[in-house]
Amino acid sequence: MEVNKERVEEILEQYDFRQDALVPILMDTQNLCDDHYVEEETQRYIARRLNLTYVDIYEVSSFFSAINKAPKGKYHIQLCDSSVCRINKKDIIEEYLEDVLGIRVGETTADKMFTLEHTPCFGACDISPAIRINKKVYGHLTIQKVKQLLAELRGAKDE
Ligand code: FES
């Protein structure tokens, strides 16, 4: 999804067009997009405005996991794959999500509603197993709870 260049300019100004702020610039820019992804034309625009090359942007994007390498679904489901969540049976939640969404971890549903990914611990161990959906954390997960959550998100799809 192409981003409004005026919004990108605002982000660049916020960081004083600093080359060393490239990572937060790219992260803020991807947050403007429904698909959480900065497409090539906008990456090239950012490169020009920062006096960098497109290859510079590509290398930084490839290195930092927080910068998405492909378009994401509207709801970005990040399932914690670290030790406490593993002990608390995150595999059951993962299997359910894969079954009900019809995708594997790392994939996006055909309707572009959901992307399912693993993520390392994000500090919600006390409520594990936990997931983050578009930065909001949900914990003490059960299949019933996940089922209800997906139904709510599907119901909110026109928002
Ligand atoms: S181990 Fe899963 S949130 Fe910490």
Residue 118 three-state SS = strand
**Ligand 1 nearest atom to the CA of residue 82, by list position:** 1
3-24 pLDDT, tens digit each: 788 999 999 999 999 999 999 9
Ligand 1 centre and the CA of 5: distance in Å? 37
Residue with tokens 């990572």: 23
Indicate if ligand 1 lies below 6 Å from the C-beta of 96.
no
By DSSP bridging, strand 75-80 and strand 136-138 are unpaired
The phi-psi region of residue 91 (left if phi > 0; otherwise alpha if psi is between -120 and 50; otherwise beta) is: alpha
Given a cut of 70, whether residue 97 has pLDDT beyond it is yes
CB atoms within 10 A of CB 38: 28
Is 0.85 topped by the overall pTM? Answer: no
Those residues whose C-beta lies under 8 Å from the C-beta of residue 77, and which sit 6 or more positions away, are 97, 114, 115, 116, 117, 131, 132, 133
Choosing from 84, 131, 141 the residue with most ligand 1 atoms within 8 A of its CB, the one to mutate for a pocket test is 84
74-91 pLDDT, tens digit each: 898 999 999 999 999 999
99-148 pLDDT, tens digit each: 999 999 999 999 989 999 999 999 999 999 999 998 899 999 999 999 99
CB atoms within 10 A of CB 108: 20
Given a cut of 80, whether residue 159 has pLDDT beyond it is no
Ligand 1 centre and the CA of 42: distance in Å? 34
Domains of the chain from N-terminus onward: 5-63 (1.10.10), 75-155 (3.40.30.10)
What is the reported pLDDT for 65?
78
Ligand 1 centre and the CA of 155: distance in Å? 28
Inter-residue contact 122 to 137 (CB < 8 Å): yes
